[in-house]
Amino acid sequence: MIANLDKQIEQLKRCETISEAEVKQLCLQAREILVEEGNVQYVDSPVTICGDIHGQFWDLMELFSVGGMCPETNYLFMGDFVDRGFFSVETFLLLLAFKVRYPDRITLIRGNHESRQITQVYGFYDECHRKYGSSTVWLQIFKLLTKYAQLIGNKKYLMMVLCVIFFGLIRMRYKAGVYRRRGAGFLFGGDAVRSFARMNDIELLARAHQLAMEGYKHMFDNLIVTVWSAPNYCYRCGNVASILELDENLRQEYKVFVHAPSDARSIPAKRAPPEYFL
Amino acid sequence: MSSSESKYRPPTKEILSKEQLEQFQASETHAAIIAYIQRLNESVVGVRLTDPCDESEAVKAIIGVLDSVAHLATETPPVDNAGSRFGNPAFRDFYDKVKASSKELHSRIAGIPEDSVQEISLYFEESWGNRTRIDYGSGMELNFLCWLYCLERLGVLRPEDDRAVVVRIFWRYIGVMRVLQSTYWLEPAGSHGVWGLDDYHFLPFLFGSAQLRGHRHLRPKSIHDNEILEEFSKDYMYLACIQFINSIKTAHGTKSTRV
């Protein structure tokens, strides 16, 4: 079984998809591991914290070349693995395979894009259809993620807390409190952040979800850092990306990297377009 | 007339939950907006941007308003943004200037009841980007469409104006938005990445496809031909948009999309 997993990992590292049956098996194995994890997961340092990937597979490979490959490096990914990029399938499956193979060397947090609704709009669903000819793989993955969410104790509250911490938009100009900006989102100001950190004895809140041109961005006297790991986002933003390395003593080092060189492999060969584009 | 007496009132955000969204989607207003878009769409089938098009006084006045908005951007250059190139803070000043000028700009369009401005101006003010996030997405484009729809409901714009609304007013709006997006580095809000063509806009592709409907030679795959883009982008919104994307996307332009 491990030999199989290693074979799949090598395949995925070449950005080659695994079969539908292998995806199903991987999801079942991942479920068994995630069942054992707590709703608040303790992660040992040293650890390298990464932000949004959004299907930018070759940029994820750049990330690994800068930060070290799993399992040599202990990783924590803050979600948003899928949507927008070309390779959400390979990206997510590689990270999942790493999780199954080396469960103590990688932690995966669910981002707001790891959702049925969002992925039906922003590309992951379409990509699954393109690569597998049906929505089976997509469904398998969401069965896994939904089950995972259900297993997290007092679900709604804690998922909301996680959402609040990891998805909340933060704006420098808001001094106090929590603002409802959009239907599904909240905006937090400095006072809310400081108060939360004080109450929970927190030194640093790392989060993702917002584009940071220089790869990372500190706010509120370095109490919060946004780590963004998708370089040249949408092929136009021209941003760099970063990872945050915490050593044994929790000293912070930010490593910045640019997008993978644009070559033939970074743009997938076009398949036959849907009929209406003929 | 105070707002408590007026039948007009400033809009407030009401769609906050899934249930409310579904309610909206089943509403008459939703149906009416879709119908308006469809009507505008049909009005430009086979119509080129370069074809002659009558412009009523209302259309001319609205284009004048858009020119003024563009001018406000020229007067509000980006500031040095060492913190982060994306999302230039000068956009907030621009936004505030538009808001402050809103009443005066509306007064240039004949036929708008004065007390309706408190209601319709919000759609106009929200057409340029989000002040807090300094981003822009298709929701803002929809705000602009809603503003036009309000003008239609008020009788300022009429069905005879439909063609001009698309190829003159709306296309001018896109031109202004391109300037704002590049000047202030507006972040794409809700982009579909490689699963969509454009990070910001949707309607120019819809109206653009109507323009091309029935064209004898041009087909969707023509978007990959640079010579065709060069030749026909002045006539057709869709091709102009593709050409614009090619000019700003790094790597491979339209090759870097799954569409």
Residue B158, chain A, CB below 8 Å: the answer is no
CB distance A183–B16 less than 8 Å? yes
- Among candidate residues A54, A113, A209, A259, the one labeled active-site is A113
Which domain, by its residues, includes A51? Answer: 2-259
State how far residue B1 is from chain A, nearest Cα, in angstroms: 31
ipTM of predicted assembly, 2 dp: 0.77
pLDDT for residue A39: 64
Residues B43/B53, Cβ–Cβ less than 8 Å: no
Domain boundaries in chain B? 48-197
Residue B216, chain A, CB below 8 Å: the answer is no
CB distance B256–A237 less than 8 Å? no
Spatial CA neighbour of A54 closest among A231, A206, A219, A218:
A231
In a domain, residue A274? The reply is no
State pTM to two decimals.
0.81
Tens-digit pLDDT profile for residues A128-169: 999 999 888 888 887 777 655 544 333 322 233 333 333 333
Q: Region A209-226: what's the mean pLDDT? A: 86
In a domain, residue A248? The reply is yes
CB distance B192–A239 less than 8 Å? no
Say which of B85, B133, B220 has its CB closest to residue A213: B85
In 3-state terms, what secondary structure has residue A257? strand
Say which of B21, B188, B252 has its CB closest to residue A234: B188
- Most confident segment among A83-87, B66-70, B241-245: B66-70
Tens-digit pLDDT profile for residues A30-83: 988 887 876 677 788 899 999 999 999 999 999 999 999 999 999 999 999 999
A173 to chain B: closest CA residue: B132
For B80, which DSSP code? P
DSSP E strands in chain A: the ranges are 47-50, 75-77, 106-108, 169-170, 178-182, 185-188, 205-207, 216-219, 224-227, 241-246, 252-257
CB < 8 Å to A236, chain B: 188, 199, 248-250
pLDDT mean across residues, chain A? 79
State how far residue A251 is from chain B, nearest Cα, in angstroms: 23
Task: Report whether pLDDT(B187) > 70.
Answer: yes
Residue B193, chain A, CB below 8 Å: the answer is yes
CB distance B191–A123 less than 8 Å? no
Tally of domains in chain A: 1
In a domain, residue A270? The reply is no
pLDDT mean across residues, chain B? 92
Query: Is position A113 annotated as part of the catalytic site?
Result: yes
Say which of B193, B219, B249 has its CB closest to residue A83: B193
| CATH classification at residue A202 | 3.60.21.10
Alpha carbon distance A269, A259 (integer Å): 19
CB distance B84–A232 less than 8 Å? no
Give pairs for B152-161: CB < 8 Å, separation 24+: B152/B36, B154/B111, B154/B112, B154/B113, B154/B116, B154/B120, B155/B111, B156/B58, B156/B109, B156/B110, B156/B111, B156/B112, B157/B58, B157/B59, B157/B62, B158/B56, B158/B58, B159/B39, B160/B54, B160/B56, B161/B56, B161/B58, B161/B59
State how far residue B207 is from chain A, nearest Cα, in angstroms: 17
Tens-digit pLDDT profile for residues B206-234: 999 999 999 999 988 899 999 999 999 99
Say which of A183, A235, A278 has its CB closest to residue B250: A235
In a domain, residue A266? The reply is no
